[in-house]
Amino acid sequence: MAEHVLLKCKELGFGYGGLESSTVFALPFDFELRAGEVVALMGENGCGKSTLLKTLAGRIPALAGAVLLQGGLLKEFSIRDLAKRIALVRMSGIVPDRMTAREFVSLGRSPYAGILDGRSVEDELAVDAALELLELQSFADRTVTSLSDGERSRVYLAEAVAQQVQILLLDEPNAFLDIPRSHRLFKLLKKLAAERNMGIVVSTHSVEYAERYCDRIMVIHGGVVRVESAASARASGLLDWTESEG
């Protein structure tokens, strides 16, 4: 595994609000996301997983500390430059009317578009590769609104793949997938990390997928963020909260 650090959190505090009235989900923590690895993000509902992902993506500001992207402060990157480096994939949101799956995946090339928003041969090749990787060719010309939740989730991921980012942040990507497709998704994430030298953080409620497919597991629990290797997470007590009855 490559040791190149793509994203670094230094004494990061995340949540919502200002100095006088804010919701802080956890004590400040340090974390490094390395190229070539998949990190599972876990915790109970409402613990702040989605908020942390938004903070790492630069969608909302950190409440304390800093997020560094390839050595520079995340907050100092332009929206366009961030979009070339980080993609946050969520399985909910506004679905565009009359837009086909291929057109939606093509949106991933927007950060690279010129003044006239034209698509180059490279753009089309990137879109084709993303459609093939997520097995979307058979319904590439169907509207996104006509797809099932599972099919739609694959379209959202394909857009991020077409974006050719180095950091992929996924918010419960297998929420609408059946068990076979969930396994295939996590295998795909491992492949993307290894072959494209990407750093991936994926939130999930599945301990099985986290232990089986991820390199490390990050848990938000009791206002504390802890990270362990997936191989030692259970022995270290990191997953004890999943067996609690209340």
Mean pLDDT over residues 161-179, rounded? 92
Q: What percent of the chain has pLDDT over 70?
A: 94
What is the reported pLDDT for 153?
A: 87
Whose structure tokens read 């997936």?
Answer: 230
Provide the whole-model pTM: 0.91
Tell me the C-alpha distance between 239 and 70, whole Å. 30
Tens-digit pLDDT profile for residues 206-232: 999 999 999 999 999 999 999 999 999
What is the reported pLDDT for 1?
A: 41
Structure tokens at 160: 């991020």
Residue 20 burial class via C-beta count within 10 angstroms: exposed 0-12, middle 13-18, buried 19 and up:
exposed
Structure tokens at 216: 């490390």
Domains of the chain: 5-243 (3.40.50.300)
Tell me the C-alpha distance between 143 and 211, whole Å. 36
When pLDDT is cut at 50, 70 and 90, the band that residue 19 belongs to is: low
Tens-digit pLDDT profile for residues 32-90: 999 999 999 999 999 999 999 999 999 999 999 999 998 899 999 999 999 999 999 98
